[in-house]
Structure 1
Amino acid sequence: MHLDSGRSLEILAPAGDWNALRAAVAAGADAVYFGLQDLNARRRARNFTLEEARRAVDFLHSHGRRAYLTVNTDISYRELGLAIAVLRQAAEIGVDAILVRDPALLAFRKAFPQLEFHFSTQTCMANSADVAAAAELGATRVVLARELSLEEIRRIAQHSPIDLEVFGQGALCFSVSGRCLMSSWVGGRSGNRGLCASPCRVPWSVDGQEVGHPLSMHDLCALEHIVQLHESGVRAVKIEGRLKTADWVARAVGIYRRALAGDSIDELKSEARSLTNYTGRELTDGYLISERTNLTGSNRGRLGRDEMSGEAGDAVADDVAEVLPEGEETAAFPAERKGFEFILGTANKRIECQLRWHGTDVTWEYPKTVVRRVHKAVTAGELCQMVQDRYFQGCAADHVETDDPEFLLVPRTVNAILDRISAEIGRIRRAEKKPIEIDFPEGGSLTASDLQPATTNVRALGDMPNRVRIGIGQLEDFVSRVQPVHLIVEGAGPEDVTTIVQVCRKHVPVVALPPVCFEDDLPQMQELVERCRKARLAVEVNSWGGWWLARRAGIGFEAGPGLGVLNPLAAAFLRKLGARSVTISVEADRRQIEDICAYAPVALSLYVMGRPPLAISRAELPEEFLGRVFADRRDLRMRPAREWGLWVFRPLTPFDWRRLRNDRIRVKHLVVDLVGSPDPVGEWLGLTTRSRPFTFNYFRTLQ
């Protein structure tokens, strides 16, 4: 069936590198999305330098295609300068839209009217209230959550004031996007920062019995529903795959292009199955047809890269050969910047690095490593370009050089060098007590004057916690056994509001709204907000839809962990939206927390102990798994339960910072999260504290 009613359905293709971008255009993609080396949710892809991004936009526009740049991660304070520079560069080179997650970027939307702002799937757009919130905040498109059914998409589209985009092909995450902490929990590599280590794909045991890969999702294929998606009002179908080869991208785009042209879906599905050969995963359309069982299964192992039939050039037609501008080289950053020098030496027996900044000269070395996978290696010249195109702790390079641009480096050495540059810049900055300068664009809703620390943040890390997060089922027992304490009540429904008021008496609690809410549950969340308003209870909003409902109801609200921030600018923006307090991201490391506390102009909440949800999933696992202990080979141990009608996995062992002392971390609320605790009273009183508590990312550097 041809799609000829209304606007055409956009095929949006991924590009992890130049080859993939050219292949996508050759295969018929209407638009391509890609990222830079930093601040995008696929940082393990080859990605683009700022200069390459300029050329990519020119190339796409010369062929009548649109260019979307991904800036869809949580952003730390020390990355804000880079984030603003990326927005400026995107506007200058003609990027059509940027995909965002961090609230800090929304503060600059009006400063860049030539850019469309799209809400990434990382923002968890799961219902019509979420979409309405995005529209109110200035977005022109949202990427809907991948867990929605066709009927839910149709209902959202009926009243959506902005464009909708859905995923059509590619990998699925076990957890709802933006709601997963598993990778961060086990090693500080955050999926919300673009470095997910895919712990859901590994083998698991349940209560000591090997059960295979129960958290490894099948791959999505929406071919059979392409007509229904278009008729429901969806504007774009997106192919996931910035880590895929150019050949894979070309074949995926070609399949969907032919589907729109009316080719046999059965034949195209057979071709689509070949796209999963390298993973060994099955295809599924389960979420789209409201079938949420049997969505996970074995991962038979990855095939080598060579299995993905050839180089990208094989799929590139002559009429879309790469046309690059000649002669001019546009600088990624202003020439007058005051930056550092970096020199990479390879002539001796070891790799030598030298960094000079503000009169400080630092040198360090790495052993030379045999390069066995040349296709994954990075040349010294490419590394120097990476250094030239990035900000490190808010500082850019003035001069970068190497004695051998063709010298090959293994990826782990490249990552180590980039991390070391950032660390050394940070050490020099701290030694000189030199503040990070942020060049705020004109026309944004926030300026430097908005980053003034709130006087209400007086409680230091190490002081007695003054708040408890408790589940509705734990509430009465806890309150009856513990001296009055300020509570956040999680998991409550509208029918629980009267009980909460009666049990808590004079200590007025805050009622938490869920972090994920699908369309059928939206009326219940709306009713919960209304009953809290009548009872004069504030709510904690954990999604953009929750914020929208609270704002419409005129009720006092706080921004909870579901809208946790990693920089003070995001906190300032949430304050402008009406939040009376803002929660620091539970993933944040010590230095990031210190930066937020130094500049946030709003009351802050910091979780100092708890078992946060490591994964929130709509996939249905066998009922006998509920309450059992899941463990992987790294001894990550977690237990699933049903919360908010979803499968929620929490760790057995909490993180605990109550013994730590840091006077540079000052907030209004130090919160202990007892949801999921087997002994809430004992843990609150410190009776069940472990001798060597787990400190999560506090002493790590969050990647």
Structure 2
Amino acid sequence: MLELLSPAGSPEAVTAAVQNGADAVYMGFGDLNARRRAKNFTEKEFSDAVEYCRVRGVKTYLTLNTLLTDRELPEAAELIRKAVRIGVDAVLVQDLGVVRLVRQVAPQLPVHASTQMTLHSLEGVRQAAELGVSRAVLSRELSGEQLAHICRNSPIEIEVFVHGAHCMSYSGQCAMSALIGGRSGNRGLCAQPCRMPYGWQSRADSYPLSLKDMSLIHHLGELDEMGVACVKIEGRMKRPEYVAVVTGIYSKAIREKRPPTRQELERLQAAFSRDGFTDGYFAGKKGPEMFGVRSSGEETQGAFLAEARASYENTENGRVPVRFFALIQPGEPSKAAVEDETGRVCTCEGPAPEAARTKALSEEEVISQLMKTGGTPYVCTQVKALVRENLALSISAVNAMRRGCLEELTRERARPPQRETGEFMPGVRYQNRPAPPLWTCYLRKARQLSPELLALKPERIYLPVSEIALHREELAGLLKDQNIRLVAAMPRILWDSEEEETRKKLEIAREMGVEEALAENLGQLSIIRSCGMEPRGGAGLNVTNAQTLKELRHLGLKSAVLSFELRLAQIRDLSKCIDTELIVYGRLPLMVMENCIIKNRSGRCACDNPNLLTDSTGARFPVLPEAGCRNVLYNSRKLFLADRARDYENLGLWGERLDFTTENSQECLRAARRYRGEGDFMPNEYTRGLYYRGVE
């Protein structure tokens, strides 16, 4: 049966989830999780919540699913040690460096890969499994067909979101909140800019980035059949009443193996929705009908909230099955025992029975009293009682034995499992490279490459593998006799159904002499190697600490692009065990989107035309096509640091990378020359990014 995983942003939400049938809850403890604006828990609240769940047979998962810096890793290590002592069942992680840390600090604690890790392919899941991950939470954008393929072949458990908010961007690939508002979604403080109005002309008069909430309640049977281990409800920022309503409806649908009733669907919408719900990604039906907004005056009614609270406040819905045994015979203390579903047995003794003077105690009476477990976490499923004839024992004595057995069982079930813990060992510190960085450039289109640009001698030229395959003869001519390496850049997202075609393009690049490929996701590493190439790491891998670099070195990567959410001082202090690159010019990607907003706008494919999304301030954000009929939303202002070269040249970097997106070949040339110390090029509008001001 599917495990139902519910959100808990507060202690009250834990109670709401458990009393309404959740099999597991996920919650944050401290500031290192992806919902830092939720109430979260103090250490005592967290400990009490875990014990509360453990007694009732509900698993608890600690959310540690943000990108961390080196200075935060010791705090994370201590947090994990505390969580192990408290007795959590697993930890939910985004950062590859944190995966490495958990293996050191809590080697027996299961690790679940957060959806923030952007796992969306079988190869990505397999690679995560090799790193020690026992469960993968897949991207929400996958279709049912893609999910089934992964489930059939996955070496680890698969978890799928089934209800709650949709991010417009693939989780883990959104920098919009960070770059525009200084609040990082990758660090748990997303300001939800996708819910704001935008437009395609001069006015922001629509909501092209605001997806409806998802609901897969009609597909639970399919998910179960395809082998999904766990279905997850989103909503740690939601109120406990929301958790109660949604958990209760999904729990009944799963256990009773039935579709929801009309009344249940109405209750789901009353709890929270944005113009209803969508299953568009799962059904493979993308388009404008997947979008919606929350009405400004829409509030859940008081009677509805009171009814939801009644399902968990001052209520104990028995859920742990137990069996009772009783033995009452002359001349000996009366005995009772209780056994839970794990085989744990607790016993209790009462007074010795006396000879009956009037009415003898019957087996039926003992069974009736032991069955009365109301108001406790337990539900009695069976009683076996042996009561000798003509004996008297008070009903209160039988009840006392029942209570004593259950109290002892509760104490036993509350004890946390014993797991070993270790110390966090950052390892040897690597000295920064003394030489200034080499320069590399990323081009979106082959037409941006010119002989004049090549004459500036970039160390590497990154070009999408699709462009290499399409323009191989032209590129071969341009690069002939040039001592410049061309690197095949993989798309940010690559589904299993797209792998074969991408392999063919990589093989074409390999035949041209291309020896390296830029990986943007864990799932691309094995594909690159199978084509005889060596992998380098792109910005999609979200590198923010030295432990992640060590994991990437272990995986055989030759270099990695550092996250543009880091400050220059953090980059300087980073211990660099492999070559590192920093993006120092260009439009930074804000979102990687599965739902094509270009087609949603016009009703047809219009990728060749300029597409600019406008916000309420008048800022214009280019929307460019990506492999697989996806979109990438880019920043309205170009990153520009040519006049600040001294600030990043001494950070120990191997490469400074210029990213060219909307520029023509002449604009690429002018920008490159400025970074080489020639000319006076400067964008009309530019930003210094987050390298100076940092991000929350």
TM-score, length basis structure 2:
0.77
SS at the partner of 2:128?
Answer: helix
Determine the structure 2 residue equivalent to 1:700.
693
1:331-410, aligned counterparts within 5 Å?
none
Over aligned residues, Cα RMSD in angstroms? 2.6
Residue 58 (1) aligns with residue 44 (2): no
Determine the structure 2 residue equivalent to 1:646.
630
SS at the partner of 2:643?
Answer: coil
* 1:86/1:547 CA distance change after superposition, 3 Å: farther
Residue 49 (1) aligns with residue 42 (2): yes
Residue 683 (1) aligns with residue 661 (2): no
Determine the structure 1 residue equivalent to 2:327.
none
* 1:285/1:42 CA distance change after superposition, 3 Å: same
Determine the structure 2 residue equivalent to 1:224.
218
Determine the structure 2 residue equivalent to 1:168.
162
Determine the structure 1 residue equivalent to 2:657.
671
Unmatched 5+ residue regions in structure 2? 319-420, 675-679
Check whether the contact 1:71–1:99 (CA below 8 A) recurs between aligned residues.
yes
SS at the partner of 2:652?
Answer: strand
Which residue identity is paired with 1:641? Answer: L
Unmatched 5+ residue regions in structure 1? 1-7, 322-440
Check whether the contact 2:97–2:551 (CA below 8 A) recurs between aligned residues.
yes
Determine the structure 2 residue equivalent to 1:504.
479
* 1:448/1:213 CA distance change after superposition, 3 Å: closer
Deviation at 1:609, TM superposition (A): 0.9
Determine the structure 2 residue equivalent to 1:571.
549
Match of 2:588 among 588, 609, 612: 612
Determine the structure 2 residue equivalent to 1:26.
19
Deviation at 1:496, TM superposition (A): 4.2
**Distance in 2, Cα, partners of 1:673 & 1:311:** 55
Which residue identity is paired with 1:151? Answer: E
Determine the structure 2 residue equivalent to 1:484.
457
* 1:259/1:209 CA distance change after superposition, 3 Å: same
Deviation at 1:481, TM superposition (A): 6.8
1:224-243, aligned counterparts within 5 Å?
224-243=218-237
Which residue identity is paired with 1:631? Answer: T
Deviation at 1:594, TM superposition (A): 2.3
1:171-320, aligned counterparts within 5 Å?
171-260=165-254, 261-267=256-262, 270-275=265-270, 277=272, 280-294=274-288, 295-301=290-296, 303=298, 309-310=305-306, 313-316=309-312, 318-319=315-316
Worse-superposed segment, 642-651 or 238-247: 642-651
TM-score, length basis structure 1:
0.76
Deviation at 1:623, TM superposition (A): 4.9
**Distance in 2, Cα, partners of 1:305 & 1:297:** 18
**Distance in 2, Cα, partners of 1:76 & 1:579:** 20
Residue 590 (1) aligns with residue 568 (2): yes
Check whether the contact 1:124–1:177 (CA below 8 A) recurs between aligned residues.
yes
**Distance in 2, Cα, partners of 1:577 & 1:302:** 51
Match of 1:513 among 461, 471, 490: 490
Which residue identity is paired with 2:521? Answer: S
* 1:478/1:230 CA distance change after superposition, 3 Å: farther
- Alignment size in residue pairs: 569
Deviation at 1:20, TM superposition (A): 0.4
Deviation at 1:554, TM superposition (A): 5.5
Deviation at 1:451, TM superposition (A): 2.7
**Distance in 1, Cα, partners of 2:155 & 2:502:** 21
Which residue identity is paired with 2:668? Answer: P
Which residue identity is paired with 2:458? Answer: V
Check whether the contact 1:157–1:164 (CA below 8 A) recurs between aligned residues.
yes
Determine the structure 2 residue equivalent to 1:600.
576
Which residue identity is paired with 2:633? Answer: F
Which residue identity is paired with 1:522? Answer: E
Worse-superposed segment, 163-172 or 573-582: 573-582
Check whether the contact 2:564–2:691 (CA below 8 A) recurs between aligned residues.
no
Check whether the contact 1:201–1:299 (CA below 8 A) recurs between aligned residues.
no
**Distance in 2, Cα, partners of 1:160 & 1:497:** 36
**Distance in 2, Cα, partners of 1:688 & 1:150:** 49
Check whether the contact 1:454–1:601 (CA below 8 A) recurs between aligned residues.
no
Deviations 1:131-174 (A, max 9, x none): 11111111111001000111111111111111111000000011
* 1:128/1:264 CA distance change after superposition, 3 Å: closer
Check whether the contact 1:37–1:46 (CA below 8 A) recurs between aligned residues.
no
Check whether the contact 1:515–1:562 (CA below 8 A) recurs between aligned residues.
yes
Check whether the contact 1:610–1:674 (CA below 8 A) recurs between aligned residues.
yes
1:62-77, aligned counterparts within 5 Å?
62-77=55-70
Deviation at 1:449, TM superposition (A): 3.2
Radius of gyration: which is bigger? 2
Which residue identity is paired with 1:702? Answer: V
**Distance in 1, Cα, partners of 2:182 & 2:443:** 26
* 1:502/1:139 CA distance change after superposition, 3 Å: farther
